[in-house]
Structure 1
Amino acid sequence: MTDEQAVRKLIERWAEAVHAGELEVVLEDHADDIVMFDVPPPYSGVRGLDAYRETWPGFFEWQAAGAVFEIESLEVTAGADVAFAFALLRCGQAAEFPDSPTRLRLTLGLRKEGGRWVVSHEHHSFPSDDSPASEVRDLHARWSELTAAKDLDGLMEGIAEDVVSYEHGGQLQYVGKAAVRAICAAGLEAAASVSFETPDLRVETRGDLAVAWGLDHVQAGSVDSWSRATRVFQRHRDGWKLIHQHLSFPSS
């Protein structure tokens, strides 16, 4: 087997393992110092094998709901001890294909260690544009960064004055920006570090309205939780604003 064939086989095996949700196989041919630039934050990248491992469980949950992860095209170039590859993949709900033109773009950098190839860099992306859906996704991405920075004022910039929020607990509903601000302030103050992301975010837009939904992943100190989230946005002069939010945990 040539080096090019070995790298191709490694990548195809990795993609099959991702689709099957086999975490240990996904990790197997990755370097300890792997750096991944992923679709969701952090924008500085995921660094190290332990951090890389933590990105996959949420993706596997989303994929188990009927998503596909399949290589459509793959090109490999291999030297004596360094190689790179680029690929297009079908990554989304199975019902979207083959009609959807959207493809996940993948670039991999590999090096040879002890006679075997390992992935040292991984870069995933979807094409982005200035569509309303992209703007709503950008707002979620900013919320992730602002949550980690505990920037309450920044978080409130994307909230409408007349917002209505159904929260995990507390009162039946929270009406108005001031009420939501108080809930956010309490959450940011509850732990030394807080993170928030919605890795499986889906967005649909019609005119000046947008609906986004997915599973929120929140880490606050030692608390690590997933919950269901639906958010409704309206386009204002200064951008998209959250007008309704519905959060919940499943009830047994």
Structure 2
Amino acid sequence: MTDEQAVRTLIEKWVTAVHAGDLDTVLADHAEDLVMFDVPPPYDGVRGLDAYRDTWPGFFEWQRAGASFELESLEVTAGSDVAFAFALLHCRNVGDDPRRLLRLTIGLRKVDGRWTVTHEHHSFPLEVESAAPAIEALFDQWGADTATRNLDALMEPIAEDVVSYEIDGNYTGKAAVREVCAAGLASDPGTITLKIPDPTVESDGDLAVAWSVDHVTASGDETTSRATRVFRRTGGDWKLIHQHLSYPAS
């Protein structure tokens, strides 16, 4: 058996043991001075074989609820005395996204002719939540509230410090924007509709930017305007902090 094959066999045996909850086999072939960077804390890693041992009972308990721990891919590079491997694994419970894979890097050294694990690094990629569904739902609600002339509901997602560049002027503060919206709703006794189809939304953390072509219908006439809107997430809710509406110059 080549060194690469030996390392691969060691890791495959370890994965099988983790899935089976076989603690003795999980600990086998690990150095006393092992350092592991795990998914949960501590930030500076789990240090030493005893501390490593203590991390597993809780994981095994979680796994007994039906979770899996299985290799998706494994790459091994081995020298004469040092080796490393990186792998992707399915580490998930029933109902979890199968595309979300655990990342694993393992460092090994040969001690007395035997490959020994000296370092493990486990992690999941950070999940960046897109603001698009929430912003699109907000736009749909704006459309519904416009049709029913529900001014209070229209103002709900507006930040107190909003700055709005409207078609007819610039307005600062929620109260000023409320006056503009109230005047618009009162300007036509007939049906007024607002549609914001296919907006583009880009987000990062608690900020989101959306741009779209808005369609407004009043007295049977439809107008379109260009719109750029900036939202800030506050207390879990997205609030409009800036909008810029315009028509192209004729």
The two structures have a TM-score, normalised by structure 1, of 0.51
- Match of 2:90, SS? strand
**Among candidates 121, 124, 134, match of residue 123 of structure 1:** 121
> What CA distance in whole angstroms lies between the structure 1 residues aligned with 2:234 and 2:94?
36
Structure 2 partner of 1:53: 53
Matched to 1:77, the amino acid is: T
Change (3 A) 1:4 1:58: same
Matched to 1:67, the amino acid is: A
Structure 2 partner of 1:36: 36
Matched, 1:11 2:11: yes
Structure 2 partner of 1:237: 234
Task: Give the percent of matched residue pairs that are identical in Structure 1 and Structure 2.
Answer: 71
1:129 positional shift = 3.5
> What CA distance in whole angstroms lies between the structure 2 residues aligned with 1:14 and 1:94?
22
Matched to 1:124, the amino acid is: H
1:14-54 CA distances to partner (integer Å, 9 max, x unpaired)? 00000000001000010000000000000100000000000
1:238 positional shift = 6.0
Q: Look at both structures and tell me which one has the larger radius of gyration over its CA atoms.
A: 2
Structure 2, gaps ≥5 residues long = 131-231, 238-250
Equivalent residues in 2 for 1:140-219, closer than 5 Å: none
Contact 2:89 2:103 (C-alpha < 8 Å) held by counterparts: yes
1:140-171 CA distances to partner (integer Å, 9 max, x unpaired)? xxxxxxxxxxxxxxxxxxxxxxxxxxxxxxxx
Matched to 2:115, the amino acid is: W
> What CA distance in whole angstroms lies between the structure 2 residues aligned with 1:84 and 1:104?
17
Structure 2 partner of 1:103: 101
- Match of 2:87, SS? strand
> What CA distance in whole angstroms lies between the structure 2 residues aligned with 1:130 and 1:42?
23
Structure 2 partner of 1:112: 110
The total of aligned residue pairs comes to 137
Contact 2:76 2:84 (C-alpha < 8 Å) held by counterparts: yes
> What CA distance in whole angstroms lies between the structure 1 residues aligned with 2:233 and 2:94?
34
1:111-151 CA distances to partner (integer Å, 9 max, x unpaired)? 0001000100000000003439xxxxxxxxxxxxxxxxxxx
- Match of 1:110, SS? strand
Matched to 1:84, the amino acid is: F
> What CA distance in whole angstroms lies between the structure 2 residues aligned with 1:236 and 1:55?
36
Structure 1, gaps ≥5 residues long = 133-234, 241-252
1:237 positional shift = 2.6
- Match of 2:11, SS? helix
The two structures have a TM-score, normalised by structure 2, of 0.52
Matched to 2:56, the amino acid is: W
RMSD of equivalent CA atoms: 2.1
Matched, 1:64 2:67: no
- Match of 2:10, SS? helix
1:94 positional shift = 3.9
Structure 1's consecutive aligned runs of 4 or more residues displaced over 4 angstroms after TM superposition are none
Equivalent residues in 2 for 1:218-229, closer than 5 Å: none
Matched to 2:122, the amino acid is: H
> What CA distance in whole angstroms lies between the structure 2 residues aligned with 1:130 and 1:68?
24
Matched to 1:65, the amino acid is: A
